C-alpha cells in the first residue's frame, strides 16, 4: 500500500458521487436548434447537412410541436431564398410578407410557449452572397459597405420583431449594428425584443455545409473584411465590450469547439450571458466520423456540448439539439 491520504479517485467511485461533484450541467433547456425553411411545400433533406431538413412552414410548425415535447423550446430560423428573389439590395430581407415573417407568425400562433430567434444578415437574400451590401469599384475591387448595410439590417430586424420574433440575432459583423438595431426597435416600442449579437464570429472554413444548405456562399471574394481572423482573441474581447455597451442581451462566440479559449476569456470579462454556435462543419465532423463507425456519436456529441458549457457558454446553438435532448432524456 502506498501512503496516500489524498486520493482523488474517491470522488469518482460511483455514478452517484460523480453526479454530486459534477461541476457543469447539460440539459435541453441550454440548447437552441437552428432550422432551415423554404418557400415550397414539403420537407427536403439537405444533402450538405445529413440529418437536417429544409422545412416548409407547415412542416416546421409540426416539427416544433414535437421539439417542445423534447424540451427544445428555442428555434433559430434560416431562410432558403429562391435565386429569383435575390437582389443586390437584398430587399426581400425586409419584406413583411416574406418567408421569415410568415414562419415566425405561424410558429408563434400555433406552437404555445415557443421562443423564436431569427438571423439578421443579408447573405440569404443578397445576390452577392455577402452579409452586407456590396459596392463594386471600377478598378475591379469590391467593398462590403458598413453603414449602408446597417441601415438595411435595422429594417430587417424590425420586420422580424414586428412579426413576433422574441430574439433577433445579427450575424453580419458590421460595426455599430447592435446599437442601431436597439434604437430602431425601441423607437417602435419593441423594447421587449432581445438582441443576441454574434460578437466574435470568425472567418471560418466550418461554415461550408451551411452555405450549401442555403446556397448562400459569396459569389466573389471572402468574408475576411468583416468576420474575424482565427488568430485573434483580444479582438474578440474588444467586440464583446462594444456589444455590451451597445445594448446586446446575449453575446455569441462562433464556431464553438475551436474557440473555447475565446469563450472562457469572454466569460471572465463580461457579465452578459454567452452563447456558442456549434456550426455546420463541427456537426459534420462528428456526423461523418460516426457514419464511418469511427466515433461513438452519442458520447462524442454529449462530451462536445458539456465542454462548450464548461468553457463558459450558457446556451449552445447546435444541429444536434433534438438528438442530444433525446439522449439526455435516456440518461
Ligand atoms: C451568415 C451565417 C452563417 C452561419 C450562420 N449565419 C454563414 C456565414 O457567415 O457564411 C453559419 C452557420 C453554420 O455553419 O452552421 N449570416
Model confidence pLDDT, tens digit, residues 137-161:
999 899 999 999 999 999 999 999 9
Q: Output the nine-digit C-alpha cell for 279.
A: 456550426
pLDDT at 208 over 80: yes
- Report the residue among 124, 157, 210 best suited for mutation to probe ligand 1: largest number of ligand atoms under 8 A from its CB: 210
85 is catalytic: no
- CATH superfamily name and code, 27-249: Aldolase class I (3.20.20.70)
The mean pLDDT of 165-179, rounded to a whole number, is 97
CB under 6 Å to ligand 1: residues?
119, 121, 123, 131, 171, 207, 210-211, 223, 279-280
ipTM of the complex: 0.97
| CB proximity list for 28: less than 8 A, separation 6 or greater | 70, 71, 72, 73, 321, 324, 325, 328, 329
Query: Tell me, what's the pLDDT at 235?
Result: 98
SS3 of residue 143 by DSSP? strand
* DSSP-based three-state secondary structure for 6: coil
Domain boundaries, the chain: 27-249
How far is ligand 1, taken at its centre, from the CA of residue 211, in Å? 7
Specify the pLDDT at position 42.
Answer: 95
The pLDDT tens digits for 213-248 are 888 899 989 999 999 999 999 999 999 999 999 999
- pLDDT of 216 reads 86
| End-to-end Cα, the chain, rounded Å | 37
pTM: 0.97
Using most ligand atoms within 8 A of CB, pick from 123, 132, 320 the residue to mutate for ligand 1. Answer: 123
Residue written as grid cell 469572454: 266
268 is catalytic: no
Amino acid at each position: 500500500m502506498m501512503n496516500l491520504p489524498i486520493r482523488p479517485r474517491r470522488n469518482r467511485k460511483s455514478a452517484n458521487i460523480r453526479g454530486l461533484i459534477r461541476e457543469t450541467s447539460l440539459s435541453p433547456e441550454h440548447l437552441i436548434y437552428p432550422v432551415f425553411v423554404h418557400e415550397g411545400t414539403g420537407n427536403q433533406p439537405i444533402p450538405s447537412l445529413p440529418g437536417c431538413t429544409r422545412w416548409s412552414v407547415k412542416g416546421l410548425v409540426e416539427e416544433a410541436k414535437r421539439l417542445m415535447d423534447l424540451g427544445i423550446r428555442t428555434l433559430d430560423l434560416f431562410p432558403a431564398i429562391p435565386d429569383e428573389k435575390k437582389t443586390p439590395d437584398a430587399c426581400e430581407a425586409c419584406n413583411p410578407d416574406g418567408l421569415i415573417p410568415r414562419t415566425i407568425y405561424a410558429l408563434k400562433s400555433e406552437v404555445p410557449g415557443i421562443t423564436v430567434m431569427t438571423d439578421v444578415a443579408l447573405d440569404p437574400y443578397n445576390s452577392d452572397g455577402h452579409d452586407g451590401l456590396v459596392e463594386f469599384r471600377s478598378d475591379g475591387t469590391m467593398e462590403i459597405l458598413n453603414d449602408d448595410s446597417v441601415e438595411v439590417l435595422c429594417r430587417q430586424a424590425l420586420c422580424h420583431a414586428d412579426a413576433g420574433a422574441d430574439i433577433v440575432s445579427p450575424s453580419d459583423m458590421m460595426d455599430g449594428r447592435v446599437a442601431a438595431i436597439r434604437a430602431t426597435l425601441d423607437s417602435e416600442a419593441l423594447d421587449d425584443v432581445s438582441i443576441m449579437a454574434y460578437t466574435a464570429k470568425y472567418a471560418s472554413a466550418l461554415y461550408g455545409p451551411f452555405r450549401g444548405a442555403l446556397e448562400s456562399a459569396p459569389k466573389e471574394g471572402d468574408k475576411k473584411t468583416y468576420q474575424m481572423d482565427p488568430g485573434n482573441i483580444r479582438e474578440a474581447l474588444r467586440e464583446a465590450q462594444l456589444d455590451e455597451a451597445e445594448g446586446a442581451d446575449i453575446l455569441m462566440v462562433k464556431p464553438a469547439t475551436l474557440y473555447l479559449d475565446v469563450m472562457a476569456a469572454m466569460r471572465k470579462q463580461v457579465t452578459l450571458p454567452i452563447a456558442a454556435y456549434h456550426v455546420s462543419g463541427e456537426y459534420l465532423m462528428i456526423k461523418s466520423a460516426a457514419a464511418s463507425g469511427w466515433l461513438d456519436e452519442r458520447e462524442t456529441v454529449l462530451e462536445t456540448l458539456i465542454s462548450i458549457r464548461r468553457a463558459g457558454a450558457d446556451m449552445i446553438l447546435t444541429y444536434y439539439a433534438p438528438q442530444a435532448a433525446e439522449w439526455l432524456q435516456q440518461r
